[in-house]
Amino acid sequence: MAEVSIVNYNIGNAGSICNMFRKLQVTTELASTPASVLGAKRLILPGIGAFDACVKALSDSGLRGSVLEFAASKRPILGICVGMQMLTFGSEEGDLPGLGLIRAHTRRFPDDGELRIPHMGWNGVRWQIPEHALAAGLTTDDSRFYFVHSFRVVCESPSNSLAACTYGGEFSAGIVSANVAGVQFHPEKSHRFGLKLLGNFATS
C-alpha cells in the first residue's frame, strides 16, 4: 500500500507532488476510484484554477462522497491550494458548495487598487499551531513558501488557523480541524520547505 494517495480528478499538478515524494522515498499512488480513495493511508486533495471548476470536477469524477467518507475515518487528509479552499464551506469565486470539512470561508482579497492580485511568489508563514505535525522543523523565522492565489481563506474560529500569512492583511495560509488540514501555498514548488512539509505529512 502506498504511503500517500493523491485524489485524481483531472485537476491539480499531481505529477509535481509525486516527484517531491519520490525525492523523499515515499511511495505514492493516484486515487482515481472511490475504492482507492477509501483504501488510502493518507490522502492529498490537490487543486488549481477556479473554485467551481475544481468542485464540479471532483463531483463529476464520482470521488466527492469517498473523500468525505475518508475524512470521517480520521485518517490524515491534506488539501493544497484550491484543494484547501474546497475544504471550506464555499468561495466568493463561485456558487458551488465546498466540502465543509473545516468551518471557514474563501473570500476575495481586498480590491483597494493597490494590492496586486493574484498573490504570487514567496512569502513567510507563521505557524499558529507550532506543535502540529505539519509544522515540525518549519517554525523558524525563515520558513517561507510559494503562493499563487487570488482568494484567501478566513476561518470562523482562530483555533482552525494552522498558519498565517500577510498580504493585504492577515489570512490563513494553513487550516486544520482534527485529521483534516489544508495549505494555501504550493509545497511542491517550495523547495526544501515544501519537501519538509510533505515529509511531515507522510509520517503524520
**Residues taking part in catalysis:** 81, 186, 188
User: If DSSP codes are grouped into helix, strand and coil, which group holds residue 158?
Assistant: helix
- Cα 10 from chain centroid (whole Å): 16
Q: CB of 154 within 8 A of CB of 170?
A: no
Strand, helix or coil at 163? strand
- For residue 108, give Cα distances in angstroms to 93, 94, 103, 171: 7, 11, 17, 11
Instruction: Say which residues have a Cβ less than 8 Å from residue 18's Cβ, sequence separation at least 6.
Output: 6, 28, 30
